[in-house]
Amino acid sequence: MALVSDGAFIADEWRRLADEESLPGSGKVIVSLGRLPAAREDARLTALGVYVANTTDPKALAPYFARLALIDIAFPAFTDGRGFSLARLLRREGFVGELRASGRLTPDQYLHAVGGGFDTIEIPDELAAHHGEANWAKARQARSLSYQRGVAGGASILERRRKGVA
Amino acid sequence: MTAHDPALPPRPNSAPTIYAYDEYDRAFVRERVAEFRGQVERRLAGALTEEEFRPFRLMNGLYLQLHAYMLRVAIPYGSLTSRQMRQLAYIADKWDKGYGHFTTRQNLQYNWPKLVDVPDILEALADVDMHAIQTSGNCIRNVTADHFAGVAADELEDPRPTAEFLRQWSSAHAEFSFLPRKFKIAVSGAEHDRAAIKIHDIGLRIVKNAQGAIGYEVIVGGGLGRTPFVGKLLREFLPRADLLAFLEAILRVYNRFGRRDNKYKARIKILVHETGLDEIRTQVEAEFAAMDRAPFAYDAQELERVVAAFAPPAYESLPARSDALEKAKAENTEFAAFAAVNVAPHKVPGYAIVTVSLKPIGGIPGDATAAQMRALADAADTYGFGELRVSHEQNIILPHVKQDDLFALWRDLSAAGLATANAGLISDIISCPGLDYCALATARSIPIAQAISERFADLERQRLIGKLGIKISGCINACGHHHIGAIGILGLEKKGVESYQITLGGDPTLSASIGELLGPGVSAEEVPDVIESLVQFYLAERREGEAFIDTWRRLGHKRFKESARREGEDGSGI
């Protein structure tokens, strides 16, 4: 797996645990939603993350926010946009940790992900080889303007108009 | 002072009556073109697979059709200037085969562009503040509106400022670009619905509440396709200030809960139908209540800016009745027929709204050559403040013509082959491109439209028959809106043979209804005969002033069905 952050491929410090693997004695681990109640109580972990389906109810995760440093939303297909709405709702519920999109996303969706509040994108290695870091870096800069807030350069076009700044 | 000095008065060919991009809109569209140019380059180099490329080319209006790519250009809410129309002609000549096809969603399609040329075409569109953004794909599509916006006598408020707000809000929306399916919004601000708002995913009707405040009636879940639904009332009165936030709430509910397991059940109409209107309303209202509405804060200044862009042109003060028009009508019966059929009342005395039919007898509905586009642009400059509209009936509208000028305009249109006096009549047929162009089609549409048009070629007889909408789709996806035709025709394929199902009683207006099936399908050759027999039955049965749909409603479907059966020898053919 490759991890994209701010237009570059970076090393992933997190370890994703399969359900049959036991919790390690330390480190940053990502568990499934089902294991979250138990993992939350394990004080040995440096940091805790959870991977969830894009159909997850954001309110069900809210009670765990204080202990969660990462939420990883699965994109079962790159054309399935539910994750973009879920990300936005998690931010609204108050999640301030790392939001990660994982699946076969392409660089062309980078700004959609950023706009929804995602920090990182995790893609399979062969896909990373296919599109390459340069494409992600370029895609990150593809737009300097957006009609929506938070997609490109923060303020929306409407807000910029109001302030009269370029 | 330079040539680009904004203090200079607008050039005579640039209409001041429609929204002009500001620096942000312009830069935004240029960035989208540059982004798509990069995507095309990667596709051509093999760095993007067709599967990966597909949603992004669709979001930029590019389809892969039967024979070639098809590029669908957005004409937001159907309004364009003469300058833009000339650029469309230029593109048709330079990169296509010298013509274009105006669609039922107020867009223009080029049927033969080469992939490698598309970024240049988009650049040429951007030169005149146009684009092809979101004319396709599973995103919020180009917003449509009443083609008589701003000039209709029955209008409460011009719907175009609202539609322009929606265009901006929905453009490249980060959250709503990968919806379960396409999403279409239409806006009407008049008493009569000319935008077919009840067959859209969302239909907005501008209304005034008891306190005199302007707001919106919100209709949701209408649509055609293989499962047609008339839209349902979601909110009776939505204050203007809440519009974008409320739409965002609807879209969020749809994006999360709309079906993705079957593309034919993925439209919001199915979600509304399966979940139930009350439950959807609860979900939308809950989301609306919970969301951060700050980004959509009501901005009176911005509204004023957009509304000002659609300010009416500098009309002259004229008498309501034009002597020149009356004289010309008395002297020329052909022109009198045109004036009776293709000219609608304007809200300003002495002016008229002219429908230029793109349905010549035996022609291809909605097609216009580059020369005709230029003739239309010239006519708009000479007689109509440089503004044109595209109607969802696939015709062109000149919205502000002096009644005194109608005869001269008619002569110019005649010279360009654009004076067919059949607006709203039986040969003003809406048709999808059908099997001749479309990869999805199961049967031909255009030749059927042509055959009907030729059968009823006599314009005098057409006027006698009166208002009658025929709509033809070449497959179940219903791009030709057959469900809402007073007479609808659906082309299917049965055992390798084209078969046409006929429906009656469809209505796209506020009294919206879905047509009912007449019987088993008929062959392509039989279609004009069936239409003929239906028309004859109607003519024999109608009461004074009754349109086809009214007679059908009064007599009931059964009577029409029986009449059609009597016409067929053994009843099996119809």
Q: Model confidence over B116-159: pLDDT tens digits?
A: 999 999 999 999 999 999 999 999 999 999 999 999 989 999 99
CB within 8 Å: B22 and A161: yes
User: Is residue B129 a contact partner of residue B84, using CB atoms and an 8 Å limit?
Assistant: yes
CB within 8 Å: B35 and A158: no
**Sign (positive/negative) of CA torsion B75, B179, A80, B476?**
negative
Confidence of residue B296 (pLDDT cuts 50, 70, 90): confident
**What are residue B109's phi and psi, to 5 degrees?**
-110, 135
Considering the domain architecture, whether residues B121 and B58 belong to the same structural domain is answered as: yes
Query: What is the rounded average pLDDT for all residues in chain B?
Result: 93
Considering the domain architecture, whether residues B434 and B523 belong to the same structural domain is answered as: yes
The structural domains of chain A, ordered by start, are 2-163 (3.20.20)
- What is the structure's pLDDT at B7? 41
- What is the structure's pLDDT at B66? 73
Average pLDDT of the residues in B408-420: 97
The domain boundary, picked from B273, B308, B343, lies at B308
In sequence order, which ranges of B181-263 are alpha helices (DSSP H)? 243-257
CA atoms of A120 and A108, how far apart (whole Å): 14
CA atoms of B387 and B12, how far apart (whole Å): 11
Contacts of A156 in chain B (CB under 8 A): 295
- What is the structure's pLDDT at A52? 98
- What is the structure's pLDDT at B566? 53
Q: Does B12 score more than 80 pLDDT? A: no
Measured in angstroms, the CA of A106 and the nearest CA of chain B are apart by 8
Task: Give per-residue pLDDT as tens, B515-552.
Answer: 999 999 999 999 999 999 999 999 999 999 999 999 99
**What are residue B261's phi and psi, to 5 degrees?**
-85, -15
Evaluate whether residue B10 is within a structural domain. no
User: Is residue A99 a contact partner of residue A121, using CB atoms and an 8 Å limit?
Assistant: no
Which range of residues forms the domain containing residue B549?
Answer: 430-567
Contacts of B243 in chain A (CB under 8 A): none
Q: Tell me, yes or no, if B295 comes closer than 8 A to chain A by beta carbon.
A: yes
- What is the structure's pLDDT at B9? 40
Considering the domain architecture, whether residues B123 and B214 belong to the same structural domain is answered as: no
User: Is residue B36 a contact partner of residue B115, using CB atoms and an 8 Å limit?
Assistant: no
CA atoms of A92 and B256, how far apart (whole Å): 15
User: Is residue B125 a contact partner of residue B392, using CB atoms and an 8 Å limit?
Assistant: no
Q: Tell me, yes or no, if B297 comes closer than 8 A to chain A by beta carbon.
A: no
**B1, two tokens:** 């002072």
E-strand spans in B54-102?
Answer: 62-64, 69-73, 79-81, 99-102
Evaluate whether residue B276 is within a structural domain. yes
Mutate to test the interface with A, among B49, B53, B256 (most CBs of A within 10 A): B256
Q: Tell me, yes or no, if B134 comes closer than 8 A to chain A by beta carbon.
A: no
Evaluate whether residue B323 is within a structural domain. no
**B129, two tokens:** 């503040």
Measured in angstroms, the CA of A27 and the nearest CA of chain B are apart by 33
Residue A34 Cα distances to A19, A60, B33, B486, angstroms = 9, 12, 45, 56
CB within 8 Å: A78 and B179: no
User: Is residue B441 a contact partner of residue B415, using CB atoms and an 8 Å limit?
Assistant: no
Evaluate whether residue B139 is within a structural domain. no
CB within 8 Å: B168 and A157: yes
| Interface subset of A 44-63, CB within 8 angstroms of B | 55
CB within 8 Å: B174 and A84: yes
Measured in angstroms, the CA of B151 and the nearest CA of chain A are apart by 28
User: Is residue B308 a contact partner of residue B22, using CB atoms and an 8 Å limit?
Assistant: no
Measured in angstroms, the CA of A14 and the nearest CA of chain B are apart by 27
Measured in angstroms, the CA of B88 and the nearest CA of chain A are apart by 26
Mutate to test the interface with A, among B25, B26, B39, B52 (most CBs of A within 10 A): B52
What's the CATH number where B515 sits? Answer: 3.30.413.10
The domain boundary, picked from B415, B441, B462, lies at B415
The domain boundary, picked from B369, B391, B415, lies at B415
Q: Tell me, yes or no, if B48 comes closer than 8 A to chain A by beta carbon.
A: yes
For residue B93, what is the enclosing H or E element? helix B82-95
Q: Chain A residue closest to B306 (CA)? A: A158
CA atoms of B81 and B83, how far apart (whole Å): 5
Q: Does B228 score more than 50 pLDDT? A: yes
User: Is residue A81 a contact partner of residue B255, using CB atoms and an 8 Å limit?
Assistant: yes
Measured in angstroms, the CA of A28 and the nearest CA of chain B are apart by 29
- What is the structure's pLDDT at B168? 95
Considering the domain architecture, whether residues B384 and B489 belong to the same structural domain is answered as: no
Confidence of residue B565 (pLDDT cuts 50, 70, 90): low
Q: Does B16 score more than 80 pLDDT? A: no
CB within 8 Å: B175 and A88: yes
Contacts of A158 in chain B (CB under 8 A): 168, 295, 299, 302
| Interface subset of B 223-282, CB within 8 angstroms of A | 252, 255-256, 260
Q: Chain A residue closest to B166 (CA)? A: A147
Q: Tell me, yes or no, if B65 comes closer than 8 A to chain A by beta carbon.
A: no
Task: Give per-residue pLDDT as tens, B37-55.
Answer: 999 999 999 999 999 999 9
| The residue type at B390 | V
For chains A and B, what is the number of CB pairs under 8 angstroms? Answer: 112
Considering the domain architecture, whether residues B336 and B436 belong to the same structural domain is answered as: no
Considering the domain architecture, whether residues B336 and B394 belong to the same structural domain is answered as: yes
Phi-psi region of B107 (alpha: psi -120 to 50; beta: other; left: phi over 0): beta
Q: Tell me, yes or no, if A22 comes closer than 8 A to chain B by beta carbon.
A: no
Going by C-alpha positions, the residue among A83, A133, A163, A32 that lies closest to residue B174 is A83
CB within 8 Å: A82 and B172: no
Considering the domain architecture, whether residues B160 and B302 belong to the same structural domain is answered as: yes
CB within 8 Å: B27 and A149: no
Evaluate whether residue B178 is within a structural domain. yes
Q: Does B8 score more than 90 pLDDT? A: no
Evaluate whether residue B8 is within a structural domain. no
Q: Tell me, yes or no, if B299 comes closer than 8 A to chain A by beta carbon.
A: yes
**3-state SS string for chain A:** CEEEECCEEECCCCEECCCCCCCCCCCEEEEEHHHHHHHHCCCCCCEEEEEECCCCCHHHHHHHCCCEEEEEEEECCCCCCHHHHHHHHHHHHCCCCEEEEEECCCHHHHHHHHHHCCCEEEECHHHHHHHHHHHHHHHHCCCCCCCCCCCCCCCCHHHHHHHCCC
CA atoms of B89 and B371, how far apart (whole Å): 7
Q: Tell me, yes or no, if A40 comes closer than 8 A to chain B by beta carbon.
A: no
**B307, two tokens:** 């509304």
CB within 8 Å: A131 and B252: no
- What is the structure's pLDDT at B18? 87
CA atoms of B199 and B346, how far apart (whole Å): 26
Q: Chain B residue closest to A57 (CA)? A: B256
pLDDT in tens, chain A (166 residues): 999 999 999 999 999 999 999 988 889 999 999 999 999 998 888 899 999 999 999 999 999 999 999 999 999 999 999 999 999 999 999 999 999 999 999 999 999 999 989 999 999 999 999 999 999 999 999 999 999 988 877 889 988 988 765 4
- What is the structure's pLDDT at A46? 87
Beta bridge partners of B333: none
Q: Tell me, yes or no, if A130 comes closer than 8 A to chain B by beta carbon.
A: yes
User: Is residue A73 a contact partner of residue A52, using CB atoms and an 8 Å limit?
Assistant: yes
DSSP letter string, B139-178: SBPPPEE-TTTTTBTTBSS-SHHHHHHHHHHHTT-SSSSS
| ipTM score of complex | 0.96
What is the tally of structural domains in chain B? 4
| Interface subset of B 28-47, CB within 8 angstroms of A | 28, 31-32, 34-35, 38-39, 42, 47
Mutate to test the interface with B, among A85, A89, A105, A136 (most CBs of B within 10 A): A85
Considering the domain architecture, whether residues B266 and B373 belong to the same structural domain is answered as: no
CA atoms of A32 and A73, how far apart (whole Å): 11
Contacts of B305 in chain A (CB under 8 A): 161
Confidence of residue B572 (pLDDT cuts 50, 70, 90): very low
Q: Tell me, yes or no, if A137 comes closer than 8 A to chain B by beta carbon.
A: no
Measured in angstroms, the CA of A77 and the nearest CA of chain B are apart by 10
Going by C-alpha positions, the residue among B198, B142, B100, B121 that lies closest to residue B433 is B100
Evaluate whether residue B135 is within a structural domain. no
Average pLDDT of the residues in B227-231: 95
Task: Give per-residue pLDDT as tens, B70-88.
Answer: 999 999 999 999 999 999 9
User: Is residue A83 a contact partner of residue A91, using CB atoms and an 8 Å limit?
Assistant: no
User: Is residue B65 a contact partner of residue B111, using CB atoms and an 8 Å limit?
Assistant: yes
- What is the structure's pLDDT at A48? 96
Average pLDDT of the residues in B286-303: 89
Contacts of B48 in chain A (CB under 8 A): 106
Contacts of A142 in chain B (CB under 8 A): 31, 34-35, 38
Task: Give per-residue pLDDT as tens, B484-504.
Answer: 999 999 999 999 999 999 999
Decide the pairing of beta strands B430-431 and B470-473.
parallel
| Residue of higher predicted confidence among B283 and B12 | B283
**What are residue A27's phi and psi, to 5 degrees?**
95, -175
**What are residue B328's phi and psi, to 5 degrees?**
-65, -40
User: Is residue A72 a contact partner of residue B170, using CB atoms and an 8 Å limit?
Assistant: no
Considering the domain architecture, whether residues B389 and B510 belong to the same structural domain is answered as: no
Evaluate whether residue B345 is within a structural domain. yes
Going by C-alpha positions, the residue among B238, B139, B128, B235 that lies closest to residue B179 is B139
- What is the structure's pLDDT at B3? 38
Mutate to test the interface with B, among A59, A90, A106 (most CBs of B within 10 A): A106
**Sign (positive/negative) of CA torsion B66, B70, B75, B77?**
positive
What's the CATH number where B369 sits? Answer: 3.90.480.20
Confidence of residue B65 (pLDDT cuts 50, 70, 90): confident
